[in-house]
Structure 1
């Protein structure tokens, strides 16, 4: 068919010597060539790997992108390279006219049944802009097919934008849910309830407990889909007597850097309920049929240290180690723990068959839940990222109110308070001898924020102010609420 193929290193799918002769040492060969984990490998229709592509993907501005961005961009390159190949061109022979024809096909061609909108084209154009900028900069391509033009920015400066940049990008007006809108969407869409609050006797969903627990955790903590979707059982905060509990998001699954998350007692209670019921049953059935025995690439954890170190054994008995902060989403899928009843996945979220649930599949779960709400006449919908936005809005409103009450401040006085204490960072920078104030903030701001959030979120006298958010929804029309 003349199509390019896309693969990834370190995905746990390397065949053994007994399966495909000559390929058993592939991981060692990749390491010798300095391939990195989860590096994309594009293979031409002739079955060749271009070393120039490997160099771009191994160490460049592309490799510095977040893992999720790389996973989005690499398939775009595969499809565009296939388009060029079917024109008799290699990827390094593209010219602006080829990109124009590609844009025409993707967006407007009558013969294309899967035309895309402005937002998707903007994403594809961003991917190609990055790739060809790197390729031309390293001398791998003579012509950059992405033509740029200068535009004036609102502050009087200039910026470079692609000539084929779309002007019809449509962003959803609604990015937030009030607490009651979220509860309605969760209970009906994920939990199988009726809008009246009664049980739907026709509901056949068997993973409602899991799905509601994931939604509660995401809405409470504001974690991204990948962050919440790849969390391990050992990373769930232990329940106590607080309103909120803190946990850590590993560097490799965060978008840019690891950070602290806060989850409510109620959300973690639902997670614990899922772990002890639906999840435990799925694990038991999977153990009984031997589903966890001798899986390719399996790593069995035998210790997690206080410093977030992870020690494991491989299938062949070799020992390895890593860190919760350096484990990628693919790494986490391979991790298992040994209990009194046998092996079980270290990942929290499992499929009905007891296997680790890929975080990308949560988008489909949310889409089905929103479709169910629509079918029942409800004007509520949600995506994982909407729950993240909603958490940020809820906490922003609540913390402002909590600070105002605790310090006895009016909004004007609060602004003055922020203005007065802003220069403190500059003074601390000078005292510590840091060259850049940002270094001071990076080192010391996170613990300070943690102290503030712990104090405010667990303040019994200042609960989350949901009515303020409802008032904001009614006044602006930008927040999805439920009557």
Structure 2
């Protein structure tokens, strides 16, 4: 039996559905109807708009081929819909698997009980028959997803009660908080979340660049994208941007090189975790990005143009102009004109943008595949895993993830800024600590003066421009190089920072 399902902005026919399994699809990612389009459904985008579906809204289809309008309401406008795109993409598959578990018990999603959730937790974590048991951290994430879903469902009165039972605990400050009864107590976080500068360079050169631990070239290395991968790693390590933020950046968003140590740029709101913000990237990292654009990227674009890879792509948007106000004006393939802001472009929107040059069209995205097509930001995780595997195979005890580079940047800049402030104020580190003990942090003092409830309001609303000026001034201080030796000392003393000899 054919099951009608919304997939990639179109209706498709799925003929190989497993009995008893829920299916997950996403709306509005810019796709166009394919050969399997069901007759009479060519106006699906208009119908989605009429129902106020949003782009990248999850659609869960039951094993009977039905879409529950209550689920659509939960996903369209609720505490779920305001979550970051990455969180939604993580949570939706969790719902699909749990609903399938319930269905195979003869239950719909709105009939789940606390006992069902207990059985699910037992299966996921300890059942001998389950070959893919999960640890505490994964279960905590799944429990958070289900807690959110059923809280929203209860609010809409779609269910009488949540299967997630809660209990109160006392917090260190004397208050109370609600946590799930099935919260794990074995969540393990890696102790190593930072890399010293020399450990990062070793991992990058060997894992991504194809060098040997000795510093010589590996003649057996066959990697053809080392220039791209090293540029991404340097850019992320320097800027501290998240994987999605750095991985979806457009060429027009890369700061122009000048004579500074650091350069600022903007992260779009829709690809940031919570809100758009300013990033700072170092001169050397941006030089490597420029080298990638002139070499590996330019060659991939040239080959793709020669074979017509950019001609008549489904959903393609050709950029006409990007204004100083960060507004993007584009033309669709059918001649229709549209516009948006760099802040409102999602990761999927950015994949669709192309610019016209003297040599023809090319992607607006910075990072490209070997074939010249936009590179999905999610694939950077695999790139880093392969690099870490190569280091391990060569006997090196160094590894990295995109988020580790973000942590490492924060540590490096923290040490650097403390040193710069100490020099400017003429304080020794001991004197600075005494000053803070006596007078408190500056942000806290200003918060009290303004009468704000918390310090973050002060930072975000009133003093963000001042903080930006301070960062720009300190980062570009010629007398304030990043102190790699101090970070190495921290590594030796704490054991929490990955270093290399």
Which category describes the TM-score, using the shorter chain as reference length?
Answer: over 0.9
1:293 aligns with 2:277: no
Q: Which residues of 2 match residues 39-438 of structure 1 at below 5 A?
A: 39-415=57-433
Aligned structure 1 segments of 4 or more residues deviating by more than 6 angstroms? 419-437
Q: What is the rounded CA distance, in whole Å, between the counterparts of 2:25 and 2:373 in structure 1?
A: 22
Structure 1 residues 451, 418: closer, same or farther in 2, change over 3 A?
farther
Which piece of structure 1 moves more, 48-57 or 416-425? 416-425
> How many angstroms does 1:425 deviate by?
6.9
Write out per-residue CA displacement over residues 296-316 of structure 1, whole angstroms, 9 at most, x where no aligned residue: 111111100001000001121
Q: What is the rounded CA distance, in whole Å, between the counterparts of 2:372 and 2:188 in structure 1?
A: 39
Which piece of structure 1 moves more, 425-434 or 43-52? 425-434
* TM-score, normalised relative to structure 2: 0.92
Q: What is the rounded CA distance, in whole Å, between the counterparts of 2:408 and 2:190 in structure 1?
A: 14
Which piece of structure 1 moves more, 444-453 or 183-192? 444-453
Q: Secondary structure at the match of 2:217?
A: coil
> How many angstroms does 1:461 deviate by?
1.0
Q: What is the rounded CA distance, in whole Å, between the counterparts of 2:379 and 2:258 in structure 1?
A: 31
Write out per-residue CA displacement over residues 270-328 of structure 1, whole angstroms, 9 at most, x where no aligned residue: 11111111111111111111111111111111100001000001121110100000111
> How many angstroms does 1:131 deviate by?
0.4
> How many angstroms does 1:166 deviate by?
1.0
Please tell me whether the aligned partners of residues 235 and 247 of structure 1 are also in contact (alpha carbons under 8 angstroms): yes
Write out per-residue CA displacement over residues 47-83 of structure 1, whole angstroms, 9 at most, x where no aligned residue: 2111111111111111121111111001110111111
Please tell me whether the aligned partners of residues 16 and 24 of structure 1 are also in contact (alpha carbons under 8 angstroms): no
Q: What is the rounded CA distance, in whole Å, between the counterparts of 1:351 and 1:361 in structure 2?
A: 10
> How many angstroms does 1:176 deviate by?
0.3
Please tell me whether the aligned partners of residues 93 and 143 of structure 1 are also in contact (alpha carbons under 8 angstroms): no
> How many angstroms does 1:441 deviate by?
3.1
* TM-score, normalised relative to structure 1: 0.95
Q: CA RMSD in A?
A: 2.1
Structure 1 residues 162, 426: closer, same or farther in 2, change over 3 A?
closer
Q: What is the rounded CA distance, in whole Å, between the counterparts of 2:387 and 2:205 in structure 1?
A: 10
Q: What is the rounded CA distance, in whole Å, between the counterparts of 2:253 and 2:73 in structure 1?
A: 35
Please tell me whether the aligned partners of residues 345 and 355 of structure 1 are also in contact (alpha carbons under 8 angstroms): yes
Which piece of structure 1 moves more, 183-192 or 54-63? 54-63
Q: Secondary structure at the match of 2:409?
A: helix
Q: What is the rounded CA distance, in whole Å, between the counterparts of 1:160 and 1:427 in structure 2?
A: 31
Which piece of structure 1 moves more, 97-106 or 17-26? 17-26
Structure 1 residues 422, 359: closer, same or farther in 2, change over 3 A?
same
Write out per-residue CA displacement over residues 103-149 of structure 1, whole angstroms, 9 at most, x where no aligned residue: 11111122211111111111001100110111112100123111111
Which piece of structure 1 moves more, 433-442 or 98-107? 433-442
Which piece of structure 1 moves more, 17-26 or 96-105? 17-26
**1:482 maps to what in 2?**
500
Which piece of structure 1 moves more, 374-383 or 31-40? 31-40
Please tell me whether the aligned partners of residues 17 and 24 of structure 1 are also in contact (alpha carbons under 8 angstroms): no
Count of matched residue positions in the alignment of Structure 1 and Structure 2:
483
Please tell me whether the aligned partners of residues 16 and 23 of structure 1 are also in contact (alpha carbons under 8 angstroms): no
Q: What is the rounded CA distance, in whole Å, between the counterparts of 2:468 and 2:396 in structure 1?
A: 38
Q: What is the rounded CA distance, in whole Å, between the counterparts of 1:182 and 1:425 in structure 2?
A: 32
Please tell me whether the aligned partners of residues 66 and 256 of structure 1 are also in contact (alpha carbons under 8 angstroms): yes
Q: What is the rounded CA distance, in whole Å, between the counterparts of 1:90 and 1:326 in structure 2?
A: 36
Q: What is the rounded CA distance, in whole Å, between the counterparts of 1:150 and 1:366 in structure 2?
A: 40
Q: What is the rounded CA distance, in whole Å, between the counterparts of 1:432 and 1:158 in structure 2?
A: 28
> How many angstroms does 1:412 deviate by?
4.6
Structure 1 residues 228, 117: closer, same or farther in 2, change over 3 A?
same
Q: What is the rounded CA distance, in whole Å, between the counterparts of 1:143 and 1:437 in structure 2?
A: 37
Q: What is the rounded CA distance, in whole Å, between the counterparts of 1:390 and 1:142 in structure 2?
A: 46
Match of 1:6 among 13, 18, 24: 24
Q: What is the rounded CA distance, in whole Å, between the counterparts of 1:433 and 1:170 in structure 2?
A: 39
Q: What is the rounded CA distance, in whole Å, between the counterparts of 2:197 and 2:495 in structure 1?
A: 15
Structure 1 residues 421, 454: closer, same or farther in 2, change over 3 A?
farther
Write out per-residue CA displacement over residues 5-30 of structure 1, whole angstroms, 9 at most, x where no aligned residue: 11112211241799543232222211
Q: What is the rounded CA distance, in whole Å, between the counterparts of 2:319 and 2:353 in structure 1?
A: 7
Q: What is the rounded CA distance, in whole Å, between the counterparts of 2:81 and 2:438 in structure 1?
A: 41
Which piece of structure 1 moves more, 368-377 or 455-464? 455-464
Q: What is the rounded CA distance, in whole Å, between the counterparts of 1:72 and 1:393 in structure 2?
A: 28
Please tell me whether the aligned partners of residues 310 and 324 of structure 1 are also in contact (alpha carbons under 8 angstroms): yes
Q: What is the rounded CA distance, in whole Å, between the counterparts of 1:285 and 1:56 in structure 2?
A: 45
Structure 1 residues 189, 291: closer, same or farther in 2, change over 3 A?
same
Q: Is there any run of 5+ residues in structure 2 with no aligned partner, and where?
A: 1-18
Q: Secondary structure at the match of 1:277?
A: helix
Which piece of structure 1 moves more, 408-417 or 43-52? 408-417
Q: What is the rounded CA distance, in whole Å, between the counterparts of 1:456 and 1:105 in structure 2?
A: 53
Q: Secondary structure at the match of 2:463?
A: helix
> How many angstroms does 1:253 deviate by?
0.5
> How many angstroms does 1:410 deviate by?
2.6
